[in-house]
Structures are given as structure tokens and as C-alpha cells.
Structure 1
Amino acid sequence: MRISVDIGFGYVKAENEEGKSILFPSVVGLRRASNVAGVFGEQFDDYIVTIKKGDEDQNSYYVGDAGLTSGGTRTWEDEHAKNRNLEVLIATAMGILNEKEEPVELAVGLPMNVFSAQHEELKRKLTGLSLDVSVEGERQPKNSKIQVSSVFVFPQGAGAYYAALHNIDGSVKDANLLNKPLAVIEIGFRTTDFLFMSLGKRGLQPRPEPFTGSLDIGMNTAQTEIQQAAKKELGGYEPDLKEIEKALLWPGMNGILTAKGKSIDLKPFRKQANENVASRIISQLKQRWRDEVNTLSSVMIGGGGGDDLYSHFEQAFGITQKVENPQFANAKGFLAAQALALRAAGRG
């Protein structure tokens, strides 16, 4: 079973070769025994995940929205293979998506700025991973034996590029974009990756830095700005960023933050913060690309911030297109790139 997992700083996006996909916050908290479950029952958000690795003791975790509810954390280690939540997040995605319990051919990604230095280490860490995984959530509990047979690691901006041109089976999606010079801007939670593809004598090739790379700006930058605006409204009390996130993204909260006995509508703050983040990204990319942007046929927008910020990029570049389902652009693109790599190796 081919499965791609885009392990974002903010959210995990994953998809299997049959097109089934899942999305959940990259938040993990250790599950402990509850003293009140017998009184109130144990109602929980997705997911409670139990993992056993070899002869080690099994551990249970709150993952995703359940992690947000239970005070879990995001981990942002500079060396991605050493992220202590990595196996839990990937195991959760594979446990849900590996419906046939087949060996998994896994595709994952890394930010552009660390790909060259870290992709081999990440591949070594995940290849051969063997776990017993139980996932409880809205569905019936699902128990799986996970065996990772192969690992493909791709740059995150390249994932969005392949998603724009190819379907997840590697077939061509948009023939008009093939062999055309274009750029991809992939707006994530913590970083924005960008890829500049130029037409050379032997075909398309990525331009090196400063044309291709990563910016340390993302949708978390906007959330931090919203947090500071809310702090002023609350007389100096600074709400936790996870509370800001829940208010903005959970449907039942409708953008309303409740704290210190007050209810604050965050939606106007979000509009201004999104505009500011988009402006910063556009300014830095224009400095990097300068007049070379005029050689492009299109600027493709993907990533979790693709929908929220698209209109700003459309105004700035004029030749902008949005990758279909931008939040899943990397997950879909990794599958497409994996399919092409397997076909080139005679395995597709």
C-alpha cells in the first residue's frame, strides 16, 4: 500500500494510493489514566493511539484534536528525524490509511532548506519501521500491524509541484503545465517553501538559492499576531496559541475566543494578520526573483495557507494559480512523485 504523509509543523496531511485522505493537528500528548472517566464517560476527539514497537512497552497518546484538548504539544526539532512525535504522527496516519494491512511504501517530505542535509537520515529512521498500532476515534477502534517496506523522501515544494502536474498514480493531470517554467509557493504552518523551475537547454530544472528555498514565515506567524491583538483586548493577558487555533478552526467556536470572562471575535484580527503575512512573503520573494519572475508561465500556490492567502498572491503576481486542494498538495504530490519513481525503477 502506497501512503504519503506530509508531517507539517502544524498539521499532518496524509493520503493513500486509493485517494483516501486524513488531516489532523501535529499535536501529541501522553495519555494517562483518568480519575473522572467513570463519572462522565470518556468522550474524546480524534485520536487515541496506542503503539507497541518490538519488545518495548506499549504507550498510549492523545493525537490531533485530542492532543489539543488534552494539552499536548507540537515539537519543532531542527533535526526532523529526531522529532520525538514523528513516529506517533506517522503511525497514526498509517494505522488509519493502511486498510489492507499490506507492507507500506511510504512517501514523506522535508522543508527545502534542510532536505539535502537530512533526507538520508530520515529515510534510515523510517525504513523497516515495524509497529502494532491501535487507533480509536469517531470510527470503531482499528488495530493494525504496520511494516514500512520502503521510504521515499521529497522536498516539500516539489510535492506541490508534482500535485499541480500529476495525479497520485503518476498520470498527467495538466498537460498545459508540462515543460513550462513555473514557480511554486507552498505556505505551511511554520515555513513557506518555494520552488523556481526554469527552462534550460535540456528541459526544466530547479534554480538554486536564492530562487528556491524556505522562508521562516507561515500561518503560525499570523496566529502569533492574532494572539498579540487578543492580548491587548484582554488587558495584558496572553492567551495560549492553541486556544487561538481552536477558536479560529473548530467549527463550533466560530472564531470566538473566551478568556478572562470575555468573548472576543478574532475574525477581524485574522484578516489583518493574513494580509500582513502574505505581504511579508511576497516582499521577500520579489527580492529574490526580481525580473526573473517575468520568465514564468505561472506561479502555483499550495499549502495549508493556500486558500487563506491566495487572493494576495493573485494581486501581486497576476499569473497565479491555486493548486487543487492546496492543503493536501504535498501529500498528493509525494504520491505522484513516488509513482513516477517506482515506474522509472520498473516497479510501477
Structure 2
Amino acid sequence: MFKIGLDLGYGYVKGVNEAGKTVVFPSLIGNAYERNLKILFENGFERKIDNMHLIIMNGQKQEYFVGELARRESRNVSYAFDEDKINHPNTKALIAASCLLLFPEDGRPVHLVTGLPLEQYIHKKEEFKEMLKDYKTIACFKGDERVKGIKFDKITIFPQAAGAVYFAVMEDLHRYLVKGSYLGLVDIGFKTTDFIVFLVEDRLVLREDLSGTIDLGISAVYNAADKLFTQKTGSKLDVPELMRLTADGKIFFKGKQLNFTEELKNIKAETARVIKDRLKAVWGNKLDFFNTVFLAGGGSKDLQEFLNDIYENTVIVKDPQLANARGFLKVAELEEKKTNTKEG
């Protein structure tokens, strides 16, 4: 089976397949329209992932701008912020777009490993699995009319932060798998921050009492940036400009450059402080027995300088935004080995 690890985040979709192809794009969906002038400005090197005009053909044809294209050109673009993300129509469109990029060309059956935030995993794992089992769609990108049927032959749902732990420890097993020690990972996403702890025995043993989800992520920085801008200008920002302001710390408005770097730094420090306080309250004196605290997720790069003092050995994982997706792929590989051993 062809293996794919897919992390459907509130802020970004991240995916990796067994052939080594990776995709990262904003979890944005917008209304599609004909871009008649596109041909004047297009060059042959435009990346497909930056120009995803998705066409879904399930009886009724639906068209969306997805990811970067939605951010740049949609008139009313949105993140899927519902608690019930599983049944949100945006989620199904994001799955279709990512799978068009990650599916094998030869039509082999696909094993998909994906995840949910820890607390949603406990309550909604089966519902998510059922949705993916029933997921069948025919789709293509406009301008690349190779239609693909998308369905999954095997589905594994895994807790989000746990995927990142698998990826992190595989880098150096001897260093991290010290018997009797604990490993913690903090996965800072767009809407939520997951934290997970494993006790190292002959295998990794999940400590559920030391793991959980904090309802706070990088979107808190976005919301605060939006308020700052409104206080300073009296105007509101839409999603594309808000993303620019949060990334750059400054924005061009009404003939001048407005600089919010210092204010945004303070907001990030405060967001990190709330996360640290919650972690320390849950972990308590167990923290003294930790080997390493890993930082993962797209938000870890934004908050790293304010989180390094969680513990003396705090490490940001390699390529933190893709850590869950790569961990999910590792889970698929381990499952395949188990199956082959049983059959052998």
C-alpha cells in the first residue's frame, strides 16, 4: 500500500508521502472564479501548490480556490474554525487538494495516517475514521485536467502530538530512549496547543494524565494583531493582510509603513507564558525526570525564544511544521512492518 501522512491543521495542511513528496499550504478555502487575465502574468514555473483551483465532480461540480491561491485572490476566504471540523465542507476540500498532490500516479491502494488534537482524538476518533472511510471523490485542478479518484483503502487515526514524538525520537533513539525517563512534546498549532508525555520503558508508554490540549495557538497572535491594527487605524484587516502583518511585523497602509514589531513580540511572549504556566501546572515535579521537551508545530518557530526555558533541555524538532505528518508516515511504516511480520 502507498503510505501518506497528512496533518489537517486549522492553520496549515501538511502532508508527506512515501516517495518523499511534501506539501504545506494554508488551510484556506475561497470562492473560485475565472481568472481571465492570469495568462498575461503567468510564467511556466508557477508552482501548482501556489495555484490550486480545485474542481470536485461528485454529481454536482464544485470549484474552490485553495491555500495560497485563496489567500491571494479569493474575495471571501475563510479558515475552518468550527469545533466540528470533521464535517466542515472546507475539510473535505482540503483533503481533496492535498491528495491530488500526494496520491500515487499508478492508482495503488492508499494507507492514510492522519490525526486529531489530543482531546478531540479521545472523543471523535471513530467519527473521523468513519468520515474518511466514506470519503470518495473525483477531483482535478483547473488547467491540469487529469482527474483522480480519491479514496482510502486503510485509515489510521493517531493523536497529533504523538506523531511528532515518533518523528523526533527516531532521529537518535539511544539519546532519547533512556529507561525511566520521560519525554514531553509541545505541539503549537494555529488554534490549539497539544502536549503529550511518554514514560520510557521497554517501549514508549503514554502518560495520559500528563497530556492534553490547551485551547490556545498562533491564532491568538493573529487576533491580537487584528485588534492592534484596528486601534491604530480604525480599519479592519482581512485574512491575507493579517497573515502578512503577523509574519512581517509591519504593513503598508494609506501611503506609509506601519510597524508593529515590538507589540507583536510582547503578544507572542504573553501567549508563550500562558502555555508554559499550563504545562508547569500539569507536569509539576515530574518535569525533573524529563529527558527532553520537544517543540513542534508551525507555531513553535514563532514562540521558540519564549519557550526555551520550559526545561533545561528544550529542543525544537527538525522541520517542526511537518513533524506530525512525518511522524504519521513513520506510524504507517511501522504498521506495514507489523503486518508483514504476521503474514511472514
TM-score scaled by length of structure 2 = 0.88
Q: In the aligned structure 2, how far is the partner of 1:307 from the partner of 1:289?
A: 23
Q: Is the 8 A contact 2:177 2:200 kept in 1?
A: no
The SS at the match of 1:341 is: helix
Q: For residue 141 of structure 1, report the CA deviation from its aligned partner.
A: 6.0
Among 157, 164, 168, which residue is 1:160 paired with? Answer: 164
1:19 aligns with 2:24: no
Among 143, 146, 151, which residue is 2:150 paired with? Answer: 146
Among 52, 60, 63, which residue is 2:66 paired with? Answer: 63
1:225 aligns with 2:224: yes
More off after superposition, 105-114 vs 257-266: 257-266
| 2:290 equivalent in structure 1 | 296
Q: For residue 130 of structure 1, report the CA deviation from its aligned partner.
A: 2.7
The SS at the match of 1:85 is: helix
The SS at the match of 1:324 is: coil
Q: In the aligned structure 2, how far is the partner of 1:27 from the partner of 1:328?
A: 18
| 1:6 equivalent in structure 2 | 7
Q: Is the 8 A contact 2:15 2:23 kept in 1?
A: yes
Q: In the aligned structure 1, how far is the partner of 2:166 from the partner of 2:10?
A: 21
Q: Is the 8 A contact 1:46 1:136 kept in 2?
A: no
Q: Decide whether aligned partners of structure 1 residues 347 and 58 sit closer, same or farther in structure 2, where only a CA change above 3 A counts.
A: farther
Q: Is the 8 A contact 1:193 1:213 kept in 2?
A: yes
| 2:276 equivalent in structure 1 | 282
Q: Decide whether aligned partners of structure 1 residues 173 and 80 sit closer, same or farther in structure 2, where only a CA change above 3 A counts.
A: farther
| 1:90 equivalent in structure 2 | 95
Q: In the aligned structure 1, how far is the partner of 2:315 from the partner of 2:146?
A: 39
More helix by share: 2
Q: Decide whether aligned partners of structure 1 residues 108 and 121 sit closer, same or farther in structure 2, where only a CA change above 3 A counts.
A: same
Q: Deviations over 1:184-232 (max 9, x none)?
A: 00000010000011246x65322223x2000011111112122222222
- Percent of aligned pairs sharing the same letter: 27
| 1:204 equivalent in structure 2 | 204
| 2:55 equivalent in structure 1 | 50
| 1:339 equivalent in structure 2 | 333
| 1:75 equivalent in structure 2 | 80
Aligned length: 330
Q: In the aligned structure 1, how far is the partner of 2:245 from the partner of 2:282?
A: 35
1:103-142 equivalence runs, <5 A:
103-127=109-133, 129-136=135-142
1:293-332 equivalence runs, <5 A:
293-332=287-326
| 1:239 equivalent in structure 2 | 237
Q: Decide whether aligned partners of structure 1 residues 128 and 103 sit closer, same or farther in structure 2, where only a CA change above 3 A counts.
A: farther
Root-mean-square deviation (Å): 2.4
Q: In the aligned structure 2, how far is the partner of 1:40 from the partner of 1:132?
A: 26
Q: In the aligned structure 2, how far is the partner of 1:338 from the partner of 1:346?
A: 12
| 1:169 equivalent in structure 2 | none
Read off the aligned partner of 1:224 and give its amino acid letter.
N
| 2:176 equivalent in structure 1 | 177
Q: In the aligned structure 1, how far is the partner of 2:207 from the partner of 2:243?
A: 35
Q: For residue 337 of structure 1, report the CA deviation from its aligned partner.
A: 1.3
Q: For residue 308 of structure 1, report the CA deviation from its aligned partner.
A: 2.0
Q: In the aligned structure 1, how far is the partner of 2:90 from the partner of 2:119?
A: 21
Q: In the aligned structure 2, how far is the partner of 1:81 from the partner of 1:228?
A: 29
Q: In the aligned structure 2, how far is the partner of 1:316 from the partner of 1:117?
A: 29
Q: 5+ unaligned residues in a row in structure 2: which ranges?
A: none
Q: 5+ unaligned residues in a row in structure 1: which ranges?
A: 167-171
Q: Decide whether aligned partners of structure 1 residues 30 and 103 sit closer, same or farther in structure 2, where only a CA change above 3 A counts.
A: farther
Q: In the aligned structure 1, how far is the partner of 2:38 from the partner of 2:198?
A: 59
Q: Is the 8 A contact 2:71 2:239 kept in 1?
A: no
Q: In the aligned structure 2, how far is the partner of 1:302 from the partner of 1:12?
A: 15
The SS at the match of 2:60 is: coil
Q: In the aligned structure 2, how far is the partner of 1:46 from the partner of 1:173?
A: 38
The SS at the match of 1:127 is: helix
TM-score scaled by length of structure 1 = 0.87
